[in-house]
Amino acid sequence: MEAVMGVNDSAQERTIPTGEQGTRVSRPRVLVAGASIAGPALAHWLHRRGAEVTVVERAPELRPGGQAVDARGIAKEVIGRMGLDAAVRAACTDTAGAHTVDADGKVLETFRADDDGGDGFIADIEILRGDLSQVLYDDTRDGVEYIFGDRIAELAQDGDGVDVVFAGGDRRRFDLVVGADGLHSELRAMVFGPHERFLRHLGHVLAFYSVPNEFGLDRWLLEYQDQESGRSALLRPIQDATRAMAMFYCASADFAVDYRDVAAQKRLLRERMAGLGWLAPDILAHLDDTPDFYLDQVAQVVMDRWSSGRVGLLGDAAFSSSPMSGQGTGLALVGAYVLAGELAAAEWDPGTGFARYEARMRSFVEANQEIGRLNARTRDVPGPDAEPLPDFTGEWFTELVGRAINGVELPDYAGAPDCAAPAASPITRQPRRR
C-alpha cells in the first residue's frame, strides 16, 4: 500500500475505550466513496471536525459536466459556513433568467433570477455541477486523501471498524465508511440490498451535454416544451457564452440502458428525440463531438434507514430527490454538514451520530422528494387515465416549498471540534494504471 500522510499512527493513540459500545475514536479514519458534491462536502466537514478522511472516486479524475445546480435557502447558509461563499459565487453561471419558447423561438413566459428573493425557479446561487465539484475538491484536496480510479470491492464491519478491500488491491481498515456514490450507489447495494428495492423511477429520462454556442445565447436560458409528446429541450450559455449546456428531457416508462454505457445512451437519446422541433436537430448534431455527456433516469432513492452499523449513506445514494426537485445538491450540502456535525458531537459513536443525522434530515428530505414527484407529474404526457394535478396555488404548496428550502435546523455544534487549519501538502493520488 502506498504510504499516505497521517494514516500510520497506531490504533492505541487513537482509541478511547468506552465499555459496552466497544471503542470510540478521537481521530477517526473515515472513508467516503464518491467525489462529486456530497463526498467532497462531507470531506470538508469531517476534516474540520478532526477526522482523517479518504475519498475514493471511481472515475479517473474529477468528473466534469452536468447542468447548473442550485443552492437555495439553508444550503446557502451551509456554503457560507464552509467559507466558500466567494469561491462559489465567483464560479456561478451569471444567468439572468429563463424564457420558455415555442417551436419558432417566440417567448411564452419569463422567470428572472431575482424572483422570490433569489430562491425561485432560477436560484441566485446557480453553478454548473462540475464547477461546484471543482470548488469543493480544491477546498479539500490539501487536507484530505483523494484516490481516483478506484472503488470499494469488498467491505466487512465488526464492532470496532470496517475492513475494506479496494478494487485496485489495497486493503485498509477504517472506523467509518460513508457512501456518497450517487443514485446507483454500489455501497448501498453491498450493504443495504439491491437497487430495485430503493430506486423509484419517476418515468422520465434526462440528458445533458455541452455544445458550441452557435445559437446566439447571452445570459438567458431557453426552454422548449412539446406538450403533446412530453419532451423538452433546453439551452443555457456557459463559459462566457462561448459554449452552451444542452438538456433533453422525455417521458420514459421503461429504462433499459446501462447507465455507464455512453454509446448506448446516445443512441437512446437520438431515438427518443427524433422529430422534436425548435433547435433540437442542431443540438443533436453535436452529440458525437461533445466532451461531456450525462444521461440518467429521473429517479428517487427512498430508504427507511441511511445507515447500518459503521456504514452510512449521504446525498443521492441515500435520498436522491431527483433533478425534478432542483434540490439534490442542496440536500447533499446540508446533509454533509449535519452528518459530520452529529458524528463529531456523538464523539464518533456511529449508532448515535447516524441516528441523529437521520432524525434531523428526514422531513427536509421528504419535502424535497414530494416536490420532485409533483414536478415530474406536471411533465407527464396527458392521457385519459392521468390523475388530475393538485391546485398549486393553495397554501399547502407554499408550506411545502418553505419546508423544502429551509425545513431543517442547522445546529452550531459548538461543543464539537472545528479545526479549519489548512494541512501541509496535497496528498491526491493519481489515477492508477491497470
Ligand X SMILES: Cc1cc2nc3c(=O)[nH]c(=O)nc-3n(C[C@H](O)[C@H](O)[C@H](O)COP(=O)(O)OP(=O)(O)OC[C@H]3O[C@@H](n4cnc5c(N)ncnc54)[C@H](O)[C@@H]3O)c2cc1C
The only residue of 25, 31, 56, 147 in contact with ligand X, by rule CB under 6 A: 56
Task: For residue 70, state whether it binds ligand X (rule: CB under 6 A).
Answer: no
CA dist 278 → 34, 104, 224, 290, 342 (Å): 37, 6, 7, 20, 50
Q: Considering the complex, what minimum distance in angstroms separates the CB of residue 329 from ligand X? A: 4
Task: For residue 131, state whether it binds ligand X (rule: CB under 6 A).
Answer: no
Bridge partners, residue 176, by sequence: 30
Bridge partners, residue 39, by sequence: none
Q: Which stretch binds ligand X (CB under 6 A): 180-188, 229-237, 303-311, 357-365?
A: 180-188
Q: Which stretch binds ligand X (CB under 6 A): 17-25, 50-58, 338-346, 355-363?
A: 50-58
Q: Considering the complex, what minimum distance in angstroms separates the CB of residue 82 from ligand X? A: 15
- Find out whether 53 and 30 touch, Cβ atoms under 8 Å: yes
Continuous segment of H or E residues that includes residue 339: helix 328-345
For the CA atoms of the chain, what is the radius of gyration? Answer: 22
Task: For residue 38, state whether it binds ligand X (rule: CB under 6 A).
Answer: yes
For ligand X, give the closer residue by CB, 153 or 217.
153
Give the residue at shortest CB distance from ligand X: 315
For ligand X, give the closer residue by CB, 101 or 333.
333
Specify the residue for cell string 468506552. 18
Task: For residue 294, state whether it binds ligand X (rule: CB under 6 A).
Answer: yes
Task: For residue 144, state whether it binds ligand X (rule: CB under 6 A).
Answer: no
Residues shown for the chain: 434
In the region spanning residues 194 to 213, those forming contacts with ligand X, defined by CB under 6 A, are 208
The only residue of 74, 162, 180, 205 in contact with ligand X, by rule CB under 6 A: 180
Tell me the pairing of strands 176-179 and 29-33.
Answer: parallel
Query: How far apart, in whole angstroms, are the C-alpha atoms of residue 234 and residue 223?
Result: 4
CA dist 248 → 21, 66, 70, 353, 357 (Å): 51, 12, 18, 40, 35
Q: What angle do CA 340, 343, 347 make, to 5 degrees?
A: 130
Task: For residue 55, state whether it binds ligand X (rule: CB under 6 A).
Answer: no
Q: Which of 168, 167, 129 is closest to 328 using CA atoms?
A: 129
Q: Which of 69, 34, 35, 61 is closest to 245 using CA atoms?
A: 69
Task: For residue 369, state whether it binds ligand X (rule: CB under 6 A).
Answer: no
Task: For residue 149, state whether it binds ligand X (rule: CB under 6 A).
Answer: no
Q: Considering the complex, what minimum distance in angstroms separates the CB of residue 146 from ligand X? A: 11
Q: Which stretch binds ligand X (CB under 6 A): 63-71, 218-226, 356-364, 377-385?
A: 63-71
The only residue of 57, 124, 126, 139 in contact with ligand X, by rule CB under 6 A: 57
CA 94 to chain centre: 21
In the region spanning residues 322 to 351, those forming contacts with ligand X, defined by CB under 6 A, are 323, 328-329, 332
Q: Which of 38, 31, 131, 35 is closest to 78 using CA atoms?
A: 38
- Find out whether 207 and 247 touch, Cβ atoms under 8 Å: yes
For ligand X, give the closer residue by CB, 66 or 237.
66
Site residues (vs ligand X, CB under 6 A): 33-39, 56-59, 63, 65-67, 69, 129, 151, 180-183, 186, 208, 294, 315-317, 323, 328-329, 332
